[in-house]
Structure 1
Amino acid sequence: MRTKWFKLGYGTLIVVFILLLMPKYSYNDPDTFWHIELGRYMIAHHTVLHHAIHTFYNDKLPYIPHEFGFQLLIAPLYQAFGWPGIYLLTAICLFWLIMGLLRLGKVSRKELGLPEEHPLLLPFVLLITSWIYYNYFKGRPQMISSGMIVWFFVYLREFQLKTSLKYATAMLLLSCAVANIHTGVWLVIAVFTGMAVLESLLEKKLNLRRAAVFILVWLSGLLNPAGAKSLLYIFTVTHNHFNMLINEWQPIQFNRIENLPILLLLLFFAVTLPFSLYKKPFRFFLMAGILYLGVTNFKQNLFMWLFIPYFAGVFFEVVPYFRSLSLRLGRGTLMFALTVGLSLNIVCIFTVPPVIDVRAYPVKEMDYVLEHAAQGVRPRVLSSYGSSGYVMYRGGDVLCDGRQDPFITKASAGPMGWTAFERSMYGFSEYLPDIVKFDHPDFLIVKNNSSTRLYQDWVKTFGTPVFKGDYGSVFSL
């Protein structure tokens, strides 16, 4: 009877926890708009894009299709159900991630000969999940790839314990899937595999079967439309440090109050290391890699959140009271509770679909532009980098969208020698008239929070705005 009430109470708490991960916070990211549009285009034209679309360059700029799989997933969901459709994918990914993080802690304990279950593991995983959800589950590829990488790692560690065909097959499939859904993070899988190779060499366990599986994991990543070029995408976007112009690529400022959870995570990570390394080479390799990624920038800090259960799973052994606690929540009960919570959230978001924030995106401004543009022709609209994805999604051609690689090429260079990407980042300044003269947009959208001096200069140059909305002003050119 005690166990029954425990499961009922624990399961209810998990349902409540999932309900607190409110769906409306999972969609409002500027990249989601152009992901949807690229997916719609590929479905309509039955092709994988190797060039930028809906830009000022008439589809002449080359593009590496490093996220095409994700785009082909969310576009039909959006077309069928609108924004709630994207949450359907989010809910599935969240379920998969929670189960993966829990399994990650268990496999860590299993490697060291400890009981896989621990009562503190699940609450810790749920706490970690809440941060990941609110900061990274925003209608972007990482909401799928994060779970894939966690599960790849789980199967890799299981494979090292027992060279089973099912684990090897899962690793190959996940390697190929990541290479097609979010290729930019595939290198993490390649590095994890390399760590396992070194581990096997040091422990004298690198036999023919292991070596063949590791090599196939690497080769399976090449099974994507752009091949090796896509796998090395990170070196394209970091060329000339273009990526540093985007906030999430910049170094983390640990002294800022909004980054307090990241700082606490780093400190907790440091505290767990003496208890979790156990003089195991692989754990040292992983510790060094995760520490590097975790402190580099906000974008890569996600990996520290994903792999903290691997280290913390052993740390919980220092809490004496919980060692003897026999009450556990079964896998079936957990899955049922997660399903109930996520199902209720799905009902909520279908009942009250999210509305695009008119202050964050040029919603009314694009209504005006499309109403006054030539029929049957996509208007050329110059807007800031953060809003151009929305403009593209609504039906305008843009100077630069959320992808970097087409827009940092020499072919897109213009005034001041800036590429299209640089012009979209630096352009809303005293240089805006020169950029407008070079790029010839039909409409210009500027934010309401622009400098008063600059705005007055733009009015002198472009004339009085033809429309003012909640987001900004529209100039007709």
Structure 2
Amino acid sequence: MVYPSADADRSILSGLRALPAHVAWPLVVAALLYVLLLALGGKLLNDADTYWQIALGDWMIAHRTVPHVDTFSWTLPGAPWISSQWLAQVIFAVAYGALGWSGVVAVSALAIASAFGLLTYYLMRHLAPMPALALVMAGFVLAAPHMVARPHALALPVMVMWVAGLVRAADEKRTPSYWLLPLIALWANLHGGFTFGLMLIAPLALEALINARADERLYIFMRWALFGIAALAAACVTPYGPESILVTRRILGLGPALALIGEWQPQDFARLGGFELVLLGALGLLLWRRVTLPPVRILVVLGLVHMALSQSRSGEMLGLVAPLFMAAPLAPQFGRHTISDARPLYTAAAAALLLLAAAMSIVLPLSLRYEPRAEVSPTSAVEAVKASGRTRLLNSYDFGGYLIAQGVKPFIDGRTELYGAEFFLRHDAAVNLKNVGVFYDLMRDRDIDVTMLAPSTPAVGLLDRMPEWKRVYADGIAVVHVRVGG
């Protein structure tokens, strides 16, 4: 066996000591957050949609194609439907097939931690460590409520790199590099949020035009326009071509139906929470330090704040994107990153935490045994539905993902853009007895012969009082009724 020489050892150690702070700190942040997310891994599985995301990934692997029509529900079989997040679903299916829920948690935790590690890296290109880390911590608090094992989590590091590339080009008063185009293509195959990334080109192009000399503006406009067209073309490099872009319009076109979905609802300020604390802290800092930003970046940050206020799921956009727009303008006001910030301790801490993260990847999944929460996993109730032999099922919205995973065709599930606003609102009005006539009409029109609803659903009490329906199973998660009469 050949052992390294002493000179080689000294060379390696010298290289490690040379690791700059803006590289060491991102590794530290990513490793710490990865271990934290593994420790809280069960919370990453709190979303009911994770079930059908994995089931769809399995379907694509088995059929070696992507879906173009619905094959999972019994209410809209064969209806046109595409999955713009097909690649993330395949990744989740592979992770689940290899390591079970531990694989799903590990992949999600790694992606989220990597996104914040990259955010730290890009911020510390401008800011001193303390203000950069403060922005990262605030971003993590804002994004935390939407940290679940779903395709958007896998797209977060791609989003950070894309936005950082655009902002860096604007900071350096040049056109974005065409090497960014593979990122938008990858994002377009991971999650539909890539349309947000495309829209960010416009304000940065506007800023470039404002800052340019009058005789250069036409040239700069043409350069940014060409990049925008190239980015749009790259985003169409998916199995569905440009149709992936239209999915976002369909989702946003759901209108009032979105207000019934938790993650699309506005922020709740009835109790003091992380979002409000960050918002109040930011307002206090603005008043204390008289922080200033360029006009276009003010508009972008205000737009992100509006999105986060009106849709709680957009907190991650505010937490991960806004700091990238703010970093360069804030550097003169809060301290720039300098070479003197480098310390040998950074390297040792980064190495130790990376080793810890690697060890915890094995220890925590084995000791914690991750499982989705019981409220979205009505195991016994689904067995009762199967035992009934009935197939025309009316289910609660949150049970749809688990039903698909168990091979039972649901009435409705988390693919809201498939069902449309009218279908979704009618289902909500029926099961919540907002209009009893709608409930009776739906039961008759769809010839429902079995129901599986959450115990708190108003329709459960009505079914208990209808002589043609019999309660055959109930627990704290779901109640099953079977039609026994006409």
* TM-score, normalisation: structure 2: 0.80
For 1:113-150, what per-residue CA distance to the aligned partner results, in whole angstroms no more than 9, with x for missing partners? xxx44234235424532552x41221112212222211
For 1:63-121, what per-residue CA distance to the aligned partner results, in whole angstroms no more than 9, with x for missing partners? 132222221211121122211111121132023212222133234x3xxxxxx442342
Q: Decide whether aligned partners of structure 1 residues 44 and 12 sit closer, same or farther in structure 2, where only a CA change above 3 A counts.
A: closer
What amino acid sits opposite 1:80 in the alignment?
Answer: A
Q: Which of 262, 275, 280 in structure 2 is aligned with 1:262? A: 275
Which 5+ residue runs of structure 2 have no aligned equivalent?
1-15
Tell me, yes or no, if structure 1 residue 150 matches structure 2 residue 160: yes
For 1:298-335, what per-residue CA distance to the aligned partner results, in whole angstroms no more than 9, with x for missing partners? 02232111134333786587679x99994656478547
Aligned partners of 2:242 and 2:29: how far apart in 1? 46
1:338 Cα deviation from its structure 2 partner? 4.9
Aligned partners of 1:314 and 1:209: how far apart in 2? 24
1:170 Cα deviation from its structure 2 partner? 4.0
Q: Does the 8 Å CA contact 2:453/2:479 hold for their aligned counterparts?
A: yes
Aligned partners of 1:346 and 1:313: how far apart in 2? 39
Match of 2:145 in 1: 135
Secondary structure at the aligned position of 1:172 is classed as helix
Which 5+ residue runs of structure 1 have no aligned equivalent?
110-115, 410-417
Match of 2:199 in 1: 191
Q: Decide whether aligned partners of structure 1 residues 233 and 302 sit closer, same or farther in structure 2, where only a CA change above 3 A counts.
A: same
Q: Decide whether aligned partners of structure 1 residues 58 and 405 sit closer, same or farther in structure 2, where only a CA change above 3 A counts.
A: closer
For 1:165-203, what per-residue CA distance to the aligned partner results, in whole angstroms no more than 9, with x for missing partners? 9x72442011111212112x2222112111222122222
Tell me, yes or no, if structure 1 residue 383 matches structure 2 residue 395: yes
1:31 Cα deviation from its structure 2 partner? 1.0
What amino acid sits opposite 1:201 in the alignment?
Answer: L
Q: Decide whether aligned partners of structure 1 residues 472 and 220 sit closer, same or farther in structure 2, where only a CA change above 3 A counts.
A: same
* Larger mean Cα displacement after TM superposition, 431-440 or 213-222: 431-440
What amino acid sits opposite 1:136 in the alignment?
Answer: H
Match of 1:56 in 2: 74
Secondary structure at the aligned position of 2:457 is classed as coil
1:444 Cα deviation from its structure 2 partner? 1.0
* Larger mean Cα displacement after TM superposition, 384-393 or 64-73: 64-73
Give the alignment's Cα RMSD to 1 decimal.
Answer: 3.7
For 1:399-449, what per-residue CA distance to the aligned partner results, in whole angstroms no more than 9, with x for missing partners? 11101122117xxxxxxxx52x22332221234343222223442112222
Match of 2:101 in 1: 83
What amino acid sits opposite 1:395 in the alignment?
Answer: G
Matches within 5 A, 1:280-359: 280-310=294-324, 311=326, 326=341, 330=346, 333-334=349-350, 337-338=353-354, 340-341=356-357, 343-359=359-375
Tell me, yes or no, if structure 1 residue 224 matches structure 2 residue 238: yes
Q: Does the 8 Å CA contact 2:51/2:402 hold for their aligned counterparts?
A: yes
What amino acid sits opposite 1:284 in the alignment?
Answer: I
Q: Decide whether aligned partners of structure 1 residues 161 and 326 sit closer, same or farther in structure 2, where only a CA change above 3 A counts.
A: closer
Match of 2:265 in 1: 250
1:281 Cα deviation from its structure 2 partner? 4.6
Secondary structure at the aligned position of 1:465 is classed as strand
Percent of counterpart pairs with the same letter?
A: 20
Q: Does the 8 Å CA contact 2:34/2:113 hold for their aligned counterparts?
A: no
Q: Which of 111, 115, 121 in structure 2 is aligned with 1:103? A: 121
1:234 Cα deviation from its structure 2 partner? 2.8
Aligned partners of 1:240 and 1:10: how far apart in 2? 39
What amino acid sits opposite 1:228 in the alignment?
Answer: P
Tell me, yes or no, if structure 1 residue 171 matches structure 2 residue 174: no
Match of 1:469 in 2: 475
